[in-house]
C-alpha cells in the first residue's frame, strides 16, 4: 500500500517538532534551555543524513540525476556557444541527410504497397528465354485459363493499357486508359469517391470492348462505361460534382463517366504513365487471343501458400497449356514473383548504396563531434578533478558526459529534421522518372522515430570518446588540482583523436572515389555521340484515330499538309515526320543482294525534312526529296551500321535492298547517314533503314520533328494552331523538346552523381575540418617546445617538419586506408557505372592528389602560426 507522497518540508517540520519536544523534556529534567537544545540535537544524531535517507527513499534517483545533468549540460553549452553551434550544425547536416535518404528508402523499399494484403500479392509474367522475352505480359486467353485452373493464386487480375483520344470536352487530349478485369477493384481495395465501380454487365458491353487494344468489328450500341481519375476530373471537368453520367467521346465513340477514383489511389501506373481513366476488360471479345502478351497479370496467394509453391503450380499449368496449344504457347513458361519485388527491385541497389554513402557521412560527423568533445574535456580538467575530489565516481562522470553528448545530438537531430523536411522534396523533385513509388515518400512518424534513434545512438557514440579517454586515477586528480597545465586526457585521448582523423580521411576518400567514378560516368554519357543535334528541336505527335484517317494514303495527305504548314511558320527551319530518337522504334527484316540471310534492322519512315530537322549527318549520297514518292523509283537511305553489316563498307550508294515481306519491291540506296541512338542513350546505335514516307507501304508514323531558330517552347502554340487549322478534332500530344528528352535519359546518372557528390563534398569538408583541428591543436600544445627549439636555433623548415610530420603520417595512413577500402567497395557500384571500371586508375590516382592539395591548404595556416611563434613569449608562459 502506498501512502501519499510527503514533501520534504513536511519531514523537516516533523524533525523540528521532534527536537523541540526533546528540548522541552530536557528542560523539564532540569537543563537550561541552550544546553537542552544542544543535547536534544546530539541525541537526534545526524539530521542531514536523516534528510538524505528520507529524500532518497521517495525518489527515483536516476531520473533526478538526469534532470540535474541536463540542466548542467545546458549551462555548460551556453557558456561556450561556438562549440555548441559547430557541433549542432555538423550533426544537423549529417542526421538530416541520413533522415532524408532513409525517407526515400523507407517510402520506396520498406513500406508495404498501399493495397490490402500487400505481402501476398504476386505478379505473373510469361517467359520465353529463347525468343528473348524473359518477362513478357500475359495474353487474355492464357489469363483466362490460369484463372480457371490455378489453386494457389486467387483474385487473378489482368491489367492492360491503351491510349484514347478524348473529345467532346473543352480541350481535346490524348489520355491513358487502364483496362482492368473483374477482380481489380477488390484486389486494389479501392472505392470511387463518386459514382460506382464496374458492374457485371459492364464487363460484357461491346462499347467497352471497342475501346480496348484489340480492334473489333461489331457495331457498338449504347455508351461505354468509364471511371476517371481524380486528376482528370480536376483538370478537364473542373471538379464538377455532377460529373457522374456525363458523356464524352473516346476515340470517337460515346462513353459515359460512371465514377471518379480517389485522389490517393496509387495503383494507377501503366507502362506509358499514370492512368487517366479505367475501362472494363471485356474478356469475351479477347478470349481467343493467346499471342497478344500485353497484359500485366496480378494475383493474390491463397492462405498457406508461398511463392515457390505458386511458381511450381504455374509452371505445371504453363506446360500443359503449351501442350494443348503448341502453336501459340510452345516454349512459353510462367514466372511468379512477389509484386513488391517487381515494383521496387530495380531501385534497390542504388538506394542501398546511397544509404551506405550517407551512413559514412554520419560516421564522419560523429567522429568530428567526438573530437570536439575530447578537446572540450581537456579544457575541463580542473572541473573533473574537483568533482572527483568531492566523491563523484567515475561512472557518475561518464553519465554526465553521455548526457551532454546525447543532449547535443538530440538538438542536432531536431535541426536535422528541418534539413530533411527541406531536402526530401528537393531530392524527389530531381529524382529520375524510373524511381518507383515516388508518391509514397514522406517524412512522417516512422521517420521521426528513425531520426530520434539515430540521434541517441550518435550521442552515445560521441560521448563514449571523452569517457573512454578520461584519466580519473587519484594521482592525476591531485596533479590537476595543483597545477593548471595538465591535460585531463592522457595519451589515450591523443591517440583516439588521431585515429579518428585517420578514419575520417579514409571514409572521405571512399566517398570521393565513388563521386569521382560518378563524375566520369556522367562525362562519358554526355560525351556520347547522339548522331543528331538535340538543341532547338521540338517533337510532338498527333492522334489520328478518326474514321477519315483510315488508310495510309489519308494519313500521308495529312502529314504532307501539316509539314507544309509547319515549315511556313516563322522561326521554323525544317520540319518532318518520323520516329523520335531515344524512344525506340520498329524493326524489320531486309533482304540484300548477294546475301543469303536477311538483315534484321530498325526501320524508320521519315519525310525529307526529318533529317534536316534532327540534324542527322549525311555521309554519302543525298537525303530524300519530295520527288521520292509513289510515282518514282523506290529508294532508301541506310545508316553506316546497316551498311557495314550488310555490305561491309560505307560506300553503298546504288546498292539494292528490299523489305522481306515485299518480295519484289527493290529499293535503291541513295544515301548513307551517321548512326543515331534510337532506343536509349547508352546502347550501341542499331542498324537503321530509312524509307520515304511517301513510298512506304508498311507503316507510317505520327511523330513530328521541328527545328527552330530560337527556343522551341515559343513555337508550341503556333504548332497547335497549325494542327487545329487542319482538323480541330485532332489532338496534339507527346510534346517535348529534344533536349528535354536527352535530359530525361541522362537523369538517372545525374541523380546518382548529385547525391553521391553531395555526400562526398560534405565528407571532404568534415574530414578537412578534423584535420585542421588536429594540426592546430598540435601546434598549440607544443608552443613552448617550438619556442625552445627556435631559441636554440632551429630553422623554420625544421619547425614545420616537426609540427606537420605527425599529421602527414596520419593523413597518409588515412588516404591509404581509404584507397584500400574503396578498392574493395567500388565493385558494388558496378551497376551504376558507365564508362569507367570500378577500379578506374584515373579516379584512384586523382582523388588522393586532390585530397592532398586540399589538406595541404588546410595545413598552411597552423604551420604559419607555428613558425611565427615568438620564442621569448613561448618560453615565458610555462
Residue-by-residue DSSP string for 458-471: HHHHHHHHHHHHB-
**Does 1 contact another protein by CB under 8 A?**
yes
Report the alpha-carbon distance of residue 687 to residue 685 in Å, rounded. Answer: 7
Of 54 and 834, CB closest to another protein: 54
Nearest approach in angstroms of CB 53 to another protein is 5
State residue 187 phi and psi, 5-degree precision.
Answer: -65, -40
Q: Which stretch binds another protein (CB under 8 A): 38-46, 83-91, 231-239, 329-337?
A: 38-46
**Does 2 contact another protein by CB under 8 A?**
yes
**Does 25 contact another protein by CB under 8 A?**
yes
Of 23 and 811, CB closest to another protein: 23
Q: Helix or strand or coil: residue 389?
A: helix
Among 29, 34, 46, 527, binds another protein (CB under 8 A): 46
Helix, strand, coil content of the chain in percent (nearest 5) = 55, 15, 30
**Does 22 contact another protein by CB under 8 A?**
yes
Nearest approach in angstroms of CB 11 to another protein is 8
Of 5 and 148, CB closest to another protein: 5
Q: In 408-449, at which residue ranges do the beta strands (DSSP E only) sit? A: none
Among 12, 31, 39, 47, binds another protein (CB under 8 A): 47
Residues 269-288 that bind another protein (CB under 8 A): none
**Does 78 contact another protein by CB under 8 A?**
no
Of 53 and 857, CB closest to another protein: 53
Of 13 and 262, CB closest to another protein: 13
Of 58 and 600, CB closest to another protein: 58
Of 53 and 568, CB closest to another protein: 53
Residue 135 C-alpha cell reads as 518477362
Nearest approach in angstroms of CB 60 to another protein is 15
Distance of CA 658 to the CA centre of its chain: 47
Q: Count Cα atoms within 13 angstroms, Cβ side, for 233.
A: 25
State residue 673 phi and psi, 5-degree precision.
Answer: -115, 165
Among 35, 36, 45, 738, binds another protein (CB under 8 A): 45
Nearest approach in angstroms of CB 33 to another protein is 14
**Does 17 contact another protein by CB under 8 A?**
yes
Residue 79 C-alpha cell reads as 557558456
Of 50 and 464, CB closest to another protein: 50
Strand-pair category, 224-228 with 253-260:
parallel
Report the alpha-carbon distance of residue 148 to residue 130 in Å, rounded. Answer: 27
Residue 659 C-alpha cell reads as 523489305
Q: Helix or strand or coil: residue 655?
A: coil
**Does 12 contact another protein by CB under 8 A?**
no
Give me Rg for the CA atoms of the chain.
39
Nearest approach in angstroms of CB 474 to another protein is 25
Angle at 175 (CA atoms; ends 173, 177), nearest 5 degrees: 155
- H or E stretch covering 393: none
Of 28 and 34, CB closest to another protein: 28
Q: Are the C-beta atoms of 722 and 562 separated by less than 8 Å?
A: yes
Of 50 and 216, CB closest to another protein: 50
Residue 115's closest CA among 228, 266, 278? 266
**Does 44 contact another protein by CB under 8 A?**
yes
**Does 39 contact another protein by CB under 8 A?**
no
Of 47 and 802, CB closest to another protein: 47
Q: Which stretch binds another protein (CB under 8 A): 37-45, 423-431, 648-656, 708-716?
A: 37-45
Residue 748's closest CA among 834, 838, 836, 843? 834
Nearest approach in angstroms of CB 54 to another protein is 6
Binding string, 48-77, against another protein, x = CB under 8 A? Answer: -xx--xx--x--------------------
Q: Helix or strand or coil: residue 434?
A: coil
Residue 99 C-alpha cell reads as 533522415
Strand-pair category, 153-167 with 333-338:
unpaired
Of 21 and 627, CB closest to another protein: 21
Q: Which stretch binds another protein (CB under 8 A): 40-48, 185-193, 629-637, 658-666?
A: 40-48
Q: Are the C-beta atoms of 873 and 785 separated by less than 8 Å?
A: no
Q: Helix or strand or coil: residue 675?
A: coil
Nearest approach in angstroms of CB 392 to another protein is 22
Residues 395-424 that bind another protein (CB under 8 A): none
Binding string, 495-524, against another protein, x = CB under 8 A? Answer: ------------------------------
Q: Which stretch binds another protein (CB under 8 A): 8-16, 156-164, 376-384, 821-829?
A: 8-16
**Does 18 contact another protein by CB under 8 A?**
yes
Of 12 and 560, CB closest to another protein: 12
Of 50 and 875, CB closest to another protein: 50
In sequence order, which residues have a C-beta less than 8 Å from that of residue 598 and are 6 or more positions away?
589, 590, 591, 592, 660
**Does 43 contact another protein by CB under 8 A?**
yes
Nearest approach in angstroms of CB 65 to another protein is 22
Report the alpha-carbon distance of residue 746 to residue 524 in Å, rounded. Answer: 11
**Residue pointed to by grid coordinates 556557444:** 81
Size of the site for another protein (CB under 8 A): 24
Residue 400's closest CA among 378, 416, 384, 423? 384
Q: Count Cα atoms within 13 angstroms, Cβ side, for 540.
A: 27
SS (H, E, C) 80-133: CHHHHHHHHHHHHHHHHHHHHHHHHHHHHHHCCCCCCCHHHEEEEEEEECCCCE
Interacting residues toward another protein by CB under 8 A: 1-3, 11, 13-15, 17-18, 20-22, 24-25, 43-47, 49-50, 53-54, 57
Amino acid at each position: 500500500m502506498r501512502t501519499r507522497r510527503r514533501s520534504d518540508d513536511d519531514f523537516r517540520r516533523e524533525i523540528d517538532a521532534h527536537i523541540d519536544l526533546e528540548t522541552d523534556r530536557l528542560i523539564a529534567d532540569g537543563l537550561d534551555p541552550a544546553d537542552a537544545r544542544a543535547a536534544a540535537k546530539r541525541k537526534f544524531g545526524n539530521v542531514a543524513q536523516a534528510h538524505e535517507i528520507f529524500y532518497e527513499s521517495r525518489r527515483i534517483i536516476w531520473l533526478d540525476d538526469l534532470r540535474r545533468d541536463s540542466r548542467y549540460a545546458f549551462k555548460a553549452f551556453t557558456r561556450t556557444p561556438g562549440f555548441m553551434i559547430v557541433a549542432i550544425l555538423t550533426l544537423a547536416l549529417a542526421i538530416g541527410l541520413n533522415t532524408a535518404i532513409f525517407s526515400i528508402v523507407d517510402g520506396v523499399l520498406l513500406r508495404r504497397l498501399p493495397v490490402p494484403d500487400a505481402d501476398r500479392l504476386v505478379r505473373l509474367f510469361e517467359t520465353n528465354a529463347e525468343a528473348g522475352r524473359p518477362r513478357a505480359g500475359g495474353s487474355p486467353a492464357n489469363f483466362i485459363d490460369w484463372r480457371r485452373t490455378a489453386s494457389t493464386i486467387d483474385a487473378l487480375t489482368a491489367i492492360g493499357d491503351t491510349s484514347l483520344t478524348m473529345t467532346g470536352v473543352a480541350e481535346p487530349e490524348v489520355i491513358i486508359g487502364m483496362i482492368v478485369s473483374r477482380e481489380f477493384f477488390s484486389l486494389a481495395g479501392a472505392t470511387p469517391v463518386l459514382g460506382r465501380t464496374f458492374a457485371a454487365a459492364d464487363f460484357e458491353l461491346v462499347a467497352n470492348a471497342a475501346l480496348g487494344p484489340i480492334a473489333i468489328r461489331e457495331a457498338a450500341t449504347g455508351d461505354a462505361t468509364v471511371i476517371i481519375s481524380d486528376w482528370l476530373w480536376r483538370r478537364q471537368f473542373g471538379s464538377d460534382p455532377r460529373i457522374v453520367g456525363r458523356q464524352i467521346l473516346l476515340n470517337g465513340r460515346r462513353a459515359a463517366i460512371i465514377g471518379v477514383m480517389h485522389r490517393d489511389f496509387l495503383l494507377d501506373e501503366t507502362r506509358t504513365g499514370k492512368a487517366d481513366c479505367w475501362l472494363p476488360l471485356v474478356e469475351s471479345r479477347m478470349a481467343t487471343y493467346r499471342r497478344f502478351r500485353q497484359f500485366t497479370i496480378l494475383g493474390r496467394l491463397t492462405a498457406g501458400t508461398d511463392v515457390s509453391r505458386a511458381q511450381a503450380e504455374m509452371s505445371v499449368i504453363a506446360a500443359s497449356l503449351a501442350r494443348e496449344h503448341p502453336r501459340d504457347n510452345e516454349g512459353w513458361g510462367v514466372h511468379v514473383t512477389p509484386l513488391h519485388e517487381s515494383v521496387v527491385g530495380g531501385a534497390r541497389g542504388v538506394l542501398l548504396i546511397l544509404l551506405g554513402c550517407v551512413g559514412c557521412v554520419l560516421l564522419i560527423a560523429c567522429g568530428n563531434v567526438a573530437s570536439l568533445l575530447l578537446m572540450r574535456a581537456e579544457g575541463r580538467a580542473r572541473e573533473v578533478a574537483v568533482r572527483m575530489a568531492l566523491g563523484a565516481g567515475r561512472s557518475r562522470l561518464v553519465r554526465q558526459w553521455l548526457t551532454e553528448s546525447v543532449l547535443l545530438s538530440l538538438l542536432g537531430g531536431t535541426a536535422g529534421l528541418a534539413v530533411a523536411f527541406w531536402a526530401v522534396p528537393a531530392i524527389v523533385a530531381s529524382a529520375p522518372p524510373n524511381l518507383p513509388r515516388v508518391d509514397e515518400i514522406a517524412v512522417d512518424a516512422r521517420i521521426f522515430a528513425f531520426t530520434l534513434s539515430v540521434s541517441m545512438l550518435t550521442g552515445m557514440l560521441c560521448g563514449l570518446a571523452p569517457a573512454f579517454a578520461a584519466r580519473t586515477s587519484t594521482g592525476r586528480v591531485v596533479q590537476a588540482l595543483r597545477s593548471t597545465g595538465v591535460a585531463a586526457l592522457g595519451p589515450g585521448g591523443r591517440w583516439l583523436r588521431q585515429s579518428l582523423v585517420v578514419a575520417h580521411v579514409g571514409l572521405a576518400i571512399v566517398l570521393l572515389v565513388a563521386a569521382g567514378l560518378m563524375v566520369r560516368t556522367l562525362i562519358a554519357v554526355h560525351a556520347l555521340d547522339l548522331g543528331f543535334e538535340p538543341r532547338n528541336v521540338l517533337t510532338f505527335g498527333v492522334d489520328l484515330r478518326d474514321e477519315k484517317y483510315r488508310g495510309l494514303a489519308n494519313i500521308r495527305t495529312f502529314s504532307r499538309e501539316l509539314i507544309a504548314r509547319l515549315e511556313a511558320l516563322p522561326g521554323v527551319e525544317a520540319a518532318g515526320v518520323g520516329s523520335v530518337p531515344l524512344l525506340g522504334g520498329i524493326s524489320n527484316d531486309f533482304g540484300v543482294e548477294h546475301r543469303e540471310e536477311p538483315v534484321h534492322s530498325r526501320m524508320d519512315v521519315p519525310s525529307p525534312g526529318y533529317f534536316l530537322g534532327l540534324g542527322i549527318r549525311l555521309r554519302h549520297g543525298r537525303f530524300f526529296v519530295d520527288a521520292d514518292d509513289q510515282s518514282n523509283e523506290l529508294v532508301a537511305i541506310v545508316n553506316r551500321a546497316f551498311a557495314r553489316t550488310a555490305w561491309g563498307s560505307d560506300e553503298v550508294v546504288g546498292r539494292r535492298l528490299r523489305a522481306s515481306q515485299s518480295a519484289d519491291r527493290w529499293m535503291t540506296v541513295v544515301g548513307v547517314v551517321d548512326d543515331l541512338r534510337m532506343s536509349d542513350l547508352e546502347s550501341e546505335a542499331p542498324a537503321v533503314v530509312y524509307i520515304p514516307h511517301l513510298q512506304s507501304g508498311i507503316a507510317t508514323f505520327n511523330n513530328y520533328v521541328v527545328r527552330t531558330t530560337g527556343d522551341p517552347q515559343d513555337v508550341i502554340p503556333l504548332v497547335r494552331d497549325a494542327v487545329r487549322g487542319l482538323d480541330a478534332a485532332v489532338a496534339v500530344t507527346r510534346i517535348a523538346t529534344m533536349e528535354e528528352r536527352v535530359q530525361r535519359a541522362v537523369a538517372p546518372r545525374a541523380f546518382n552523381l548529385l547525391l553521391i557528390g553531395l555526400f562526398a563534398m560534405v565528407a571532404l569538408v568534415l574530414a578537412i575540418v578534423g584535420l585542421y583541428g588536429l594540426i592546430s591543436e598540435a601546434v598549440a600544445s607544443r608552443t613552448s617546445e617550438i619556442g625552445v627549439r627556435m631559441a636554440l636555433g632551429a630553422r623554420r623548415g625544421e619547425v614545420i617538419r616537426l609540427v606537420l610530420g605527425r599529421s602527414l603520417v596520419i593523413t597518409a595512413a588515412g588516404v591509404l586506408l581509404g584507397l584500400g577500402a574503396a578498392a574493395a567497395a567500388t565493385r558494388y557500384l558496378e551497376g551504376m557505372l558507365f564508362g569507367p571500371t570500378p577500379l578506374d586508375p584515373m579516379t584512384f590516382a586523382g582523388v588522393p592528389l586532390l585530397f592532398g592539395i586540399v589538406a595541404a591548404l588546410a595545413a598552411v595556416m597552423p604551420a604559419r602560426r607555428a613558425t611565427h611563434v615568438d620564442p621569448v613569449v613561448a618560453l615565458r608562459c610555462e
